[in-house]
């Protein structure tokens, strides 16, 4: 029991870190991957840098998309599109 008692605090720290840090991060990555895979033409999105635009074209070969903005058309990597900001943009008004 003495040796187990020495390692118990370390085990508890790992369990707490897993449930409060590692697991939520894995879930968020899974949700972002699903979001970028479900993008379609005509979706209004916001990039992580804050650029607003509408998806004009999707390229599955290099996992990029073309956004139409007021400045013209720009090509972005799909990972540059913010999931949270785009959901807020497309959320129905209360």
30-42: string of b/e by CB count within 10 Å (b at 16+)? eebeebbeeeeee
- The 10s digit of each residue's pLDDT in 6-36 is 888 899 999 999 989 999 999 999 998 898 8
- When the candidates are 2.30.30.140, 3.30.450.20, 2.40.30.20, 3.10.20.30, the CATH number that belongs to 40-94 is 2.30.30.140
Q: What whole-number distance in Å separates Cα of residue 5 and Cα of residue 54?
A: 58
Give residue limits of the domains in the chain. Answer: 1-38, 40-94
Q: What whole-number distance in Å separates Cα of residue 70 and Cα of residue 77?
A: 19
- The 10s digit of each residue's pLDDT in 77-91 is 998 998 888 888 777
Q: In the predicted model, is pLDDT for residue 1 greater than 70?
A: no
Q: Name the residue with higher pLDDT: 90 or 43.
A: 43
Q: Which pLDDT belongs to residue 6?
A: 86
Residues 66, 57: contact at Cβ < 8 Å?
yes
Tell me how many degrees the CA angle 30-90-40 measures, rounded to the nearest 5: 60
């Amino acid at each position: 029991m003495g040796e187990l008692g020495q390692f118990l605090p370390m085990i508890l720290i790992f369990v707490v870190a897993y449930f409060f840090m590692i697991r939520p991060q894995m879930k968020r990555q899974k949700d972002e991957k699903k979001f970028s895979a479900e993008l379609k033409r005509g979706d209004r999105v916001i990039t992580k840098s804050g650029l607003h635009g509408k998806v004009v074209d999707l390229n599955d070969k290099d996992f990029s998309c073309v956004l139409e903005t007021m400045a013209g058309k720009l090509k972005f990597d799909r990972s540059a599109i913010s999931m949270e900001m785009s959901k807020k943009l497309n959320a129905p008004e209360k």
